[in-house]
Amino acid sequence: MIREILIWPDPVLKQPARSVERVDDGVRRLLDDMAETMYAADGVGLAAPQVGELVRCIVIDTSPKQEGQHLIHLVNPEIVLAEGVTTYTEGCLSIPGEAEEVERAARVVVRALDRSGKPFELDCDGLLNIAVQHEMDHLQGTLFVDHLSALKRELIRKRMKKLKAEKAAERAESVKKAPRHESAL
């Protein structure tokens, strides 16, 4: 099921996510919904808080832009090694139409549970490395704009508030135009 992606500055996006107690059918359903939502939005990663679920779950698939990759599910991820420094121009599904350079570790190793609840480690470089760090920031209530200057962040915030207002107006207009159904009672 495709879910609505929250748009910053939605307050849910600033809250830290809690750990998943156990990977069960509900968590797997969330991961499936997140993957479907990510693909529908043409993204390479999505964190659960972006769809309003404050749990430590991430889906990433950099295969469209990084050869040899595939869909990865990360439950309760933690970075166990970070080294070097790199800069990458990042965008975000919760901040549509915006992209800015962000400084990140050049390589990370992440430990997580897979969709079966089995622990694994993932050595990340290239776009996968950037995506993992970006999505893990979401689990802490941090967005890529938090890595920018206050001026850039405020300009983007104003554009996102305008975008949210436009979307709300579109939704209201579509409700007004919807056919009315009279009750049979």
What single letter denotes the amino acid at residue 79?
A: I
User: Which residue out of 135, 154, 170, 182 is catalytically annotated?
Assistant: 135
Distance between CA atoms of 95 and 157, rounded to whole angstroms? 9
| Coil, helix or strand at residue 170 | helix
Alpha-carbon Rg for the chain in angstroms: 18
Distance between CA atoms of 102 and 85, rounded to whole angstroms? 10
Distance between CA atoms of 185 and 174, rounded to whole angstroms? 26
Distance between CA atoms of 179 and 76, rounded to whole angstroms? 45
166 is catalytic: no
Map tokens 């436009």 to a residue. 166
Cis amide prior to 49 (ω within 30 degrees): no
Closest CA to 127 of 44, 59, 71, 57: 44
Indicate which residues carry an active-site annotation.
Answer: 135
